[in-house]
Chain A
Amino acid sequence: MPALLLEGARVPVSRLRSRGASLLRSREASVAAFTVALGVSLHVATGRFFSLENLTNVLLDSATTAIVALGMTLVILTGGIDVSVGSMLGVVSVAVGYATAAHWRLVPVSLAGIATGLLLGGLNGALVAYGGIMPIIATLGTLSILRALTFQLLRARWISDLPPTLQPLGLGTLLHVPVATWVALALAAGVVYLTTYRPMGRHIYAVGGNAEAARLAGIDLTRVTLLVYAITGALVGIAALVYVGQTGIVQSNTGAGFELQVIAAVVLGGTSILGGRGSPLGSVLGALLVAEMKNGLILLNISGLAEGMVTGALILLAVGADLLRRRGRW
Chain B
Amino acid sequence: MVGVTRGDRLLRLVASDRPRFLLGVLLLAVAVFALTTPDFATLYNLFNMTQYGVEIGLLALGETLVIISGGGSIDLSVGSILSLSGVVLGLLTMQAHINVWVSALLGVLAGGALGALNAVLITVVGIPALIVTLGTLYAYASAALVLTNTVPISGLPAGFFVLGQRHVLGIPLQVVVVFLPVALLLHYLLRHTVFGRALYSVGTNEVAARFAAIDVRAVRFWVFTVSGLLAGLASAVMTSRVASARPDAGMGYELQAITVAVLGGTSIMGGEGTVLGTILGVLVITVLSNGLQLAGVHPIWQLGTVGLVLVVTVLVNQWLLRHRVGVL
Contact = CB atoms under 8 A, between A and B. Distances in A.
Nearest to A154: B300
Contacts of A131: 311, 314-315, 318
Contacts of B310: 137, 140-141, 144
Interface string B108-150: 0000000000000100011110111011111111110110011
A267 B130 CA distance: 10
Interface in A148-179: 148-149, 151-152, 156
B226 interface: no
Majority SS at the chain B contact face: helix
A134 B314 CA distance: 9
Contact of A308 (B138, B255, B315): B138
B308 A145 contact: yes
Given A141-B308, A273-B72, A320-B121, A308 B141 contact: yes
Given A132-B322, A274-B128, A142 B135 contact: no
Contacts of A305: 142, 145-146, 149-150
Interface string B247-284: 00000100100110010000011000000000000000
Given A260-B134, A305-B150, A145 B311 contact: yes
A312 B139 contact: yes
A148 B307 contact: yes
A137 B261 CA distance: 11
A106 interface: no
B318 A316 contact: no
Contacts of B74: 136
A267 B146 contact: no
A137 B262 contact: yes
B78 to A, nearest CB: 14
A319 B301 CA distance: 38
Given A83-B255, A137-B268, A273-B72, A147 B142 contact: no
Contacts of A145: 304, 307-308, 311
B134 A264 contact: yes
Contacts of A127: 311, 315
A56 interface: no
Contact of A320 (B125, B252, B258, B305): B125
A311 interface: yes
Q: 4 tightest CB-CB pairs across the interface, nearest first?
A: A148-B304, A308-B142, A144-B307, A312-B139
25 contacts: A131-B318, A132-B318, A133-B314, A133-B315, A136-B268, A137-B314, A140-B255, A140-B310, A141-B259, A144-B310, A145-B311, A148-B304, A151-B300, A152-B304, A156-B300, A260-B134, A260-B138, A264-B138, A307-B138, A309-B143, A312-B134, A312-B138, A312-B142, A316-B131, A319-B131
